Amino acid sequence: MASSPFRRLLHWGPISVLAIIKLITWSMVHLLGMWWPPHGSFGGALHAGIFLMLAGTTLYYFLQSLLEGPGHVPLGWKPENEDHKQYLQYCTVCNGYKAPRSHHCRKCGYCIKKMDHHCPWINCCVGHANHGYFTMFLIAAVLGCAQAAVVLTICIYHAINRVWYIHNGSGREPMIYLTLTTLLLTLLAIGMAVGVVLAVGALLYLQIRGILRNQTTIEEWIVEKAAGRREEQGLPPFVFPYDIGRVGNAKLVLFGSRYDGIHWPVRDGCGTYDLTREQIAQKQDKRVRSRLYTAVESYGGQWLPLLSWPRAALGAPCTDEGRLPLRGGGRRAGHAPATTLAVRREAGGRRRRAGAPRLVPARCRHSQRPAPNQPQDGLADCRSCSYKI
């Protein structure tokens, strides 16, 4: 379940971020005093001040993202109008309905308001309450590390060629002295800074693109699937209801504290539950395509089962979801090459493996009609063709 704000710090992700910030900041402060002393000129003081401001901003928004948290839907939440329940999905863990734009996070243990993704570096989700803080953290981190990568590289160059500058220089070159330890730490800091610029810069690009569209990472995937589903079924194109213009979208994300994370403004011609109704339709199509499989060999839940057949060992999906162990003869339901074991939830939200999978539909994908006298979670053969589920 979701931990307290301060306990979120006790995780490899936040600890790693704090260590990287400290290493790069220490390296910059140590070398700037020799390369461009801030007390020697206005340019040096301005340069050092800009970096320290970026470093402090990075640390501040990182802690704000972590301590504020994404905000979660209250347990047992339901819409005020009982008729609106049909447009919402029910969360069996939180024992309540999922508010528009919310999704359940298995790691946090709650339905997160406007969930974007679960970030291990802040050890919580990026959602309604901390999305703006997280974006500012990314911007400050990329700018600060870009400055550090350039400056530290120049300092390393001057340190390595210090003897040449002594004998052949003009005498105005900065003299930088590094011990073996500081040299290794500086090289490590350069590697970390370049890695942050590349990796976090790519994430920042995706975040800015989503902010301008007012779409989370999950919603981008929903919209993409909606386009394919509606084109295949000959339906009108799906219009994302929360796109209110780039300026309005940016204000909504960066300064969205005036909203409660449950009720959102929508564009003209769209309804409050357009997105949730599309999600329900996609889930129904997913259930129709589900198939029941029988495990022929036992599987212990390993991420890379090297002792299995090469196809099974190398064909596992690249996700951070947990693997469920199987026993020979066990049944599982799926609609893709990598299938998942059907599970049921007991009271209180605890999961247990179930014998009768609920993911298998009682409909044939060809006829789209329920089989006669067939229970809702049972199996059905197609009555209009020879297809067997």
- Residues designated as active site: 119
The Cβ of residue 29 has, within 10 Å, a number of other Cβ atoms equal to 14
356: its two tokens = 């009768």
200: its two tokens = 């976090």
336: its two tokens = 């893709």
Q: β-strand 331-334 against 343-345: which pairing, if any?
A: unpaired
* Alpha helix (H) residue ranges in the chain: 12-35, 42-68, 131-160, 162-168, 180-213, 217-233, 246-254, 274-288, 310-314
304: its two tokens = 């890379």
Whole-number Å distance between alpha carbons of 259 and 50: 34
The Cβ of residue 377 has, within 10 Å, a number of other Cβ atoms equal to 15
Cα 115 to Cα 3, 53, 63, 215, 287, distances in angstroms: 17, 30, 19, 10, 23
- Contact between 324 and 302 under an 8 Å Cβ cutoff? The reply is no
- Contact between 344 and 336 under an 8 Å Cβ cutoff? The reply is no
The Cβ of residue 359 has, within 10 Å, a number of other Cβ atoms equal to 20
364: its two tokens = 């044939």
The Cβ of residue 224 has, within 10 Å, a number of other Cβ atoms equal to 11
Bridge partners, 125 (sequence order): 118
92: its two tokens = 């069996």
- Contact between 186 and 155 under an 8 Å Cβ cutoff? The reply is yes
